[in-house]
Amino acid sequence: MASGGCENNVKDTNISDLTEILDVTVDDVGCRDGAVVEGACDHDVHVDTGDGRRREEDVTSHIDGNVSGSGDAEQLELSPDKQETPRKNTLRRKIAAAVAILRRASESEKNSDLPESFRLYKEGIQILLEASKEIDTGRTGNLKVLLNTKIAALLTHAENLRDKIKGERQSGDHPHSSGVTDEVTQRREYLAGFILDPNDNVDRSSIVGQEDAFNWLMEKLVLPYKFPRLFERYRMPENLLIFGHPGTGKTMTLRACASMIPDVTFFRLSVYDFMTKHSPDEERSVKELFRMASERKASVIIIEDFERICHSEDRFRRIHTELMVQMESRPRQTIVLFITQTPWHVTSPFRRRLAMRCYFHLPSKEERINILKAHLEETRHKLTDEDFDKIGNRTASAGGHRFTQADMVVLSRDIMMQMIRRIQTAKYFRKMTHPVTKIDDCWMPCHQDDEGAVPMNWMDVDATKLLEPAVEMSDVLLSLASTTGTVDLEDERKMFEWRSMYTEI
């Protein structure tokens, strides 16, 4: 009885034994009127439907798995009308047909056509299961036991064959299908474009605030790869979730962490990057991504716009399902990190798999002021501490919207642009001494009533002698009038409620 791998000689150990069953006499065969036999053998294969035993469909799906053969199954007329054909002849014909199909399966396996061989094995086993139903255990129990023993051996061989096909597909080894190999190569080249540049260093000092979130990512990402001995066994992080409003510094903080561990490969892509017009099989892209990550010494997979896969569209559902499968079977040296802006859309199955969660909060008043000061550090301004305090209060909420870190950056740049606008609209300039170079004949825009004002515009000024005016509080007020936050109060309320229920920090 064959129970080994795909290299076993199935023809000699199983199929030739099945031919002995064809030599039974008419009296040795007991059939009922198409009814299912109530008894069952003591082996692993049960074809009866009563008493909780496995049905024929269950056995077929058990060996089928996720592997499908090539081509359509042949339509064999193996069940003639029982009213016209004696039952004993029907049984003989079924076993004979199964033997013929299994011989073809063995030949296909020897020719290395594994998908076709698996399909034929599955078809032959199905016919034997039907034949086993028609044998009466009362008079011919030994015959039923013998047949079911052979079926069990064939099932084991088919399962091993299925595993071998899966192994070849996972390794990208398709010697008989150059088109599939080319497709895998193209998919891998496409996914390789989402690897972060290890030389793209982001300084921690460029990130204002988010101290708790940064320390959390240091603990979950940097330390495990920096000191792997400290994170043996169950200490190694698994699947991570970071969430927060857009513009709170999630991606920038991740880039800063990645710059600290250049030996780790970071894959950063959006859910939409799995869907391309040239490759509609999104789940294959997910599998290939995790396979590429497992080939590295250490890797982190960052998936943005994570909440989109909870969409009801078919393509998103396939990504959703495949991601959950890959998360369960990922290698230990791979960490998966998801980024979302609307965590309340995350489904409960995914939420259970993302037990480690981190919230990127909106900036406080002090953080908003520090962001503005950092961007105006190299710009001449006349803003006092009192002015900065007023700006911090004004940016708490403008028009029912809260300011994020990114919104404060936008405000800072607009304030600096106010100085450019003053130069562009100025109709009077006066000579000034440059505060750094000490050049006397520099020109700066001024009011017509200022001393030394000369009527001219910016086109009349030498580019090397232009002195930019200092930023004043009036420039800040003009920018605040045209700039607002991007987080409305309803989204802030949802984020707060979800954080209070599910977040870690």
Instruction: Return the number of other C-beta atoms located less than 10 Å from residue 77's C-beta.
Output: 7
- Distance between CA atoms of 307 and 76, rounded to whole angstroms? 49
The residue type found at 181 is T
Instruction: Please give the residue that has the higher pLDDT: either 53 or 240.
Output: 240
H helix or E strand, kind and range, residue 329 = helix 314-329
pLDDT in tens, 488-503: 888 889 999 898 887 6
Q: What is the mean pLDDT of residues 75-98?
A: 58
Res 303: pLDDT: 92
The helix (run of H) or strand (run of E) holding residue 244 is: strand 239-244
Task: Name the percent of the chain lying above pLDDT 90.
Answer: 20
For residue 454, pLDDT over 80 is answered with yes
- Higher pLDDT, residue 302 or 145: 302
pLDDT for 81 equals: 41
For 82-120, b/e burial (b = at least 16 CB within 10 A) is: eeeeebbebbbbbbbbbbebbbbbbebbeeebbbbbbbb
Q: Element (H or E) spanning 301, and its range?
A: strand 299-304
pLDDT of 125 strictly over 90: no
- pLDDT mean over 90-107: 83
For the segment 324-378, what is each residue's pLDDT rounded down to a tens digit?
A: 888 888 777 889 999 999 888 888 888 888 888 999 999 999 999 999 999 998 8
- Tell which wins on pLDDT, 442 or 316: 442
pLDDT computed for residue 417 by the predictor: 92
Q: What is the pLDDT of residues 47-73, one digit of tens each?
A: 343 433 444 444 444 444 444 333 333
What gap in Å lies between CA 358 and CA 217, rounded to an integer? 8
pLDDT at 14 over 60: no
Residues contacting residue 219 through CB under 8 Å, at least 6 positions apart: none
Instruction: Report the range out of 57-66, 91-100, 206-215, 453-462 with the highest average pLDDT.
Output: 453-462
Paired strand residues for 269: 303
Mean pLDDT along residues 202-225: 85
Percent of the chain with pLDDT over 70: 76
User: For 284-304, what is each residue's pLDDT tens digit?
Assistant: 889 889 999 988 888 999 998
SS3 annotation, 7-74: CCCHHHHHHHHHHHHCCCCHHHCCCCCCCCCCCCCCCCCCCCCCCCCCCHHHHHHHHHCCCCCCCCCC
Pairing outcome for strands 487-488 and 401-402? antiparallel
Residue 268 has pLDDT above 50, yes or no: yes
| Dihedral, 22, 23, 28, 30 alpha carbons, nearest 10 | 20
Strand-strand pairing, 334-340 and 239-244: parallel
Q: Which domains does the chain have, with CATH numbers?
A: 10-170 (no CATH), 192-360 (3.40.50.300), 365-489 (1.10.8.60)
- Mean pLDDT for 245-258 is 90
Closest alpha carbon to 485 in 395, 413, 416, 365: 395
Q: What is the mean pLDDT of residues 228-255?
A: 86
End-to-end CA distance of the chain: give it in Å, rounded.
Answer: 59
pLDDT value of position 158: 84
Separation CA 329–CA 410 (nearest Å) = 42
User: d(Cα 96, Cα 152) in Å, to the nearest integer?
Assistant: 18
Average pLDDT, the chain: 76
CB proximity list for 435: less than 8 A, separation 6 or greater: 380
Residues with Cβ < 8 Å from 209, sequence gap 6 or more? 249, 363, 364, 367, 370, 371, 405
